[in-house]
A and B are shown apart, each in its own frame.
Chain A
Amino acid sequence: MDNKQIQDRVKKVIANVLKTDVSTISDDANFIFDLGADSMQSMELIAAFEEEFDIEMDEDKALEVQTVSDAVTFISGYFNK
């Protein structure tokens, strides 16, 4: 899976959780600052990524994932381990 594919799926997950249009999500959008997620939704996003990609995200590292690009980097890193 290349980064573009990961990014598309990440955006889809975000759009679904935050109930927003995929086209409004930029490549480096911040979940809170740009997309208006609250702290609960930030956690929901992490859980949704785990489900979508069938991965497990360490809690401390997951907290560092705050943007679309952070999520893509983290997930691609996970698969390339």
Chain B
Amino acid sequence: MANSAALQQKNLEKIFYPESLAVVGANKVRGTVPADIIFSILKTDFQGIVYPVSPRERFISGIKCHKYIADIVDPVDLAILVFPSSVCHLALEQCGEKGIKSVIIISAGFKEIGGIGLEREKQIKEIADKYDMSFIGPNCLGVINTDPRALLNASFARKMPEEGSIAFLSQSGALCTAVLDYAQAKHIGFSKFVSFGNKADISEIDLLYYLRDDPKTKVILVYLEEISDGPGLMKAAREIISESAKPILALKSGRTMEGASAAASHTGSLAGSDEIVDAAFEQAGIIRCDNIEEMFNIAIAMTYQSLPANNRVAIITNAGGPGVLTTDAAIHEGLQLARFSEETTDIFKKSLPKTANIKNPVDVIGDARADRYHVAVANAMKDENVDGVFVILTPQSMTDIEKIAEEICMVSGHYDKPLYASFMGEADVAAGIDILQRHKIPHYILPESMSKSFARAYQFKQRIGSEMTKAVKFDDVDREKVQSILKTARKNKRKYLPEGEAVEVLKAYGFPIPPGVMVKSEEEAVKMAEKIGFPVVMKVVSDEIVHKFDVKGVVLNIRSAKQTREAYLSIHKNVTEKMPEATVTGIYVAKMVPAGEEVILGVKRDPSFGPVIMFGLGGIFVEIFRDVNFRVAPVDQQTAEEMIINTKSSGMLTGARSRTPRDIATIRTCIQRLSQLAVECPQIKELDINPMIVLDENQGCFVADAKIML
């Protein structure tokens, strides 16, 4: 049986804070992983006992080696395995017998090589479970804990990073070394640094929960290559953000559209794996970053400074152009330029030169020295109408760059408001930037990065203040009926439900369906059309035809018995011409829905995240405009509202430019009902409701066409 979450957390504590550790498979050949690991541990003043275990060496760096783990007399908290993968299971078995519960398996040669590697990974997992052991890896760089209580560098990274409040988790070991090098140059410190490799046992989710309770960590960064438990990751992120208010920033590689193009439904073709990751992260509150630089830009903003209370920024600059660029970037990110109070304006009038621009962005003029920057920055920080300050500097001949940097650091320390800086240039401003970075003032080369970081910090602040809502469960649904339809379809090995059955499924889940019936003759068509009442629509029903419009299998707005007969015959004729191999089961006659806005609702099942719900602008151009939003089911009312409002065309529904507002409340309910259907019926692989016709406010909406793939 796999280890429980509680046991995993207990064992993780010993991975980060071991009182004694054994490096199993150590040697003293510098430049090899086993040697570098043990020298890293010894070099960083580890606060516990180190036992090298080596079948051949008698001692390493003056420390006696044990041939086997069993030979160590005292208890060992942590074992670090550096043996080749072919013998890791032997070492792990001995760790288990010795009573070691926490292990880091550095060795490669497991799942990542396929074949025998897969078997080896399965074998070590079984051994770990047998002894209630937890392990990080295999195929990883190791673990670093900068806490002075531990000072553990159990990795083959070149250097121990500075102590800090950022935790970094990475599925890629090689990326870790690059990140450490990048961070060192910018004086970015870490609390914990973990390369978790193949995550055969301890996953990113276990590590996230551990970091939630780690007092040394303020911000968590994760690099992921694949997500094996999407719902678990979302749940963990939500809990961590709401319970500890620690932001989680993620970099997920693989921004491609693979898997999306071959889909049979609109939803399937629009929902690439990356769009789903975007949606899931947003829903869970995880801040998704495009690259390492952006990730650290945002991380330092959130770690070094307080979160902005609101989005009003003051810009202080010694040059007009950069001030305008920063203003543009800020507005683009949805920030506002703060309006200074009368008191601040008066001080600026008195203290700044006549030529200075005292309105936001404040231009302190090219000859500004540290004293003038001090006046502008300190008073902007003091102003109640300001939620954060951006300080811009361009190096001019009279600019005392380092002094200004020191002044900014000093002022920042007096206020509980975020202050970010951008010293533009490279060589001349380098010493100033170094001062800012050492004093934990977030520094950005570009105003765009500065504004984006502020905006993300502000959005996070808003999120932690909002309450989580639960998805509603509708009791009026007929689940049994749907299960029986799906069961029959599966028994008959059908890949999708014909329209009549798709409509029945949606009807059972409370969707508004216009009255309709399937007919098998011209006479029956006329009879039913008259019974339903004109105008009606007629559509072909066939197991082989998914896209009815493509074979001219749909006739709209039929207003008489004569037109019904004509439509019946023309549909049969068109289908025979366009798709002679298709068997026509019948023709579906339904009430023509009154004109309204066309929207699309859909479901797709993602291998990592499960059922995903889509909403957007519908009709036949849905793939061209791609104005759709995704959310992972279950979807609550607030999320359903966001899905509607966040489409670019939401104005068409809300009544922009004197249009009649449409019935958004009913769309919201339909999204939630669809979410329940997707969760309760895992047999449904893909589903499209396109179009759903939305009528005016309080008038409801109708499903005009639906497809369900199994």
A20 / chain B contacts, CB cutoff of 8 Å: 56
Q: Which of chain B's residues has its CB closest to A20's CB? A: B56
Rounded to whole angstroms, the CA-CA distance of A39 and B54 in the bound complex is 14
In the complex the two chains form, is A33's CB within 8 Å of B55's CB? Answer: yes
Q: Is the CB of B55 within 8 A of A36?
A: yes
Which residues of A41-59 are within 8 A (CB) of B?
A: none
* Interface pair B57/A30, CB less than 8 Å apart: no
Chain A neighbourhood of B27, CB < 8 A: 36, 38
Q: Which residue on B lies nearest to A19, using beta carbons?
A: B56
Q: Cβ of B55 and Cβ of A34 under 8 Å apart?
A: yes
Q: Are B57 and A36 in contact (CB under 8 A)?
A: yes
Which residue of chain B has the shortest Cβ distance to A18 in the bound complex? B56
Residue B257 interfacial (CB < 8 Å): no
B87 touching A35, Cβ below 8 Å: no
- Inter-chain CA distance A21–B84, complex, in Å, is 24
Check if B70 is an interface residue, CB within 8 A of chain A: no
A66 within 8 A of B: yes
Q: State the total of A-B contacts with C-beta under 8 angstroms.
A: 29
Q: B86 at the A/B interface (Cβ < 8 Å)?
A: yes
Contacting residues, chain A, for B84 (C-beta < 8 A): 32, 39
In the bound complex, residues from chain A placing their C-beta under 8 Å from that of B55 are 32-36
User: How distant is the Cα of A30 from the Cα of B67 in the complex, in angstroms?
Assistant: 13
Tell me the bound Cα distance from A20 to B56 in angstroms: 9
A30 partner, pick from B54, B56, B90, beta carbons under 8 A: B90
Q: In the docked arrangement, what's the CA distance between A32 and B54, Å?
A: 10
Q: Is the CB of A33 within 8 A of B54?
A: no
Interface size on A, residues (CB 8 A): 12
Docked-complex contact A33 and B87, CB < 8 angstroms: yes
Chain B interface residue bracket vs A: 10 to 19
In the bound complex, do residue B56 and residue A66 qualify as a contact, i.e. CB atoms below 8 Å apart? no
Taking a contact as CB atoms closer than 8 A, the residue among B29, B32, B83 that contacts A32 in the complex is: B83
On whether A66 and B86 interact (CB within 8 A), knowing A33-B91, A38-B27, the answer reads: yes
Complex CA distance for A18 and B29, rounded to whole angstroms:
15
Kindly identify, within residues 316 to 369 of chain B, every residue whose CB is under 8 Å from any CB belonging to chain A.
none
Q: Which residues of B contact A37 (CB under 8 A)?
A: 56
Question: Which B-chain residue is minimally distant from A34 (CB atoms)?
Answer: B55
Q: Mark B18-39, 1 if CB is under 8 A from A, else 0.
A: 0000000001010010000000
Within the complex, the shortest CB–CB distance from B97 to chain A, in Å, comes to 14
* CB neighbours of B32 from chain A (8 A): 38
Cα distance A66–B120 when bound, in Å?
15
Report how far A32 CA is from B91 CA in the complex, Å. Answer: 11
Q: Which residues of A contact B56 (CB under 8 A)?
A: 18, 20, 35-37
Bound Cα distance A36, B27 (Å)? 9
Residues of B within 8 A of A33 (CB): 55, 83, 87, 90-91
A6 and B208 CA atoms in complex are apart in Å by 54
Assembly CA distance A33 to B57 (angstroms): 12
Nearest CB in chain A to that of B32: its residue:
A38
Chain B residues with CB under 8 Å of A30's CB are 87, 90
The chain B residue with its CB closest to the CB of A42 is B84
Query: Cα distance A36–B84 when bound, in Å?
Result: 11
Closest chain-A Cβ to B24's Cβ sits at a distance in Å of 10
Q: What 10 pairs across the A-B complex have the smallest Cβ distances?
A: A36-B56, A36-B55, A33-B87, A33-B90, A32-B87, A34-B55, A35-B55, A32-B84, A30-B87, A66-B86
Q: In the complex, given contacts A30-B90, A34-B55, A66-B86, what are 13 additional A-B residue pairs having Cβ atoms less than 8 angstroms apart?
A: A18-B56, A32-B84, A32-B87, A33-B55, A33-B83, A33-B90, A35-B55, A36-B57, A37-B56, A38-B27, A38-B29, A38-B32, A39-B84
List 8 contacting pairs A-B, 8 Å CB cutoff, sorted by A: A30-B90, A32-B83, A33-B87, A33-B91, A35-B55, A35-B56, A36-B27, A37-B56
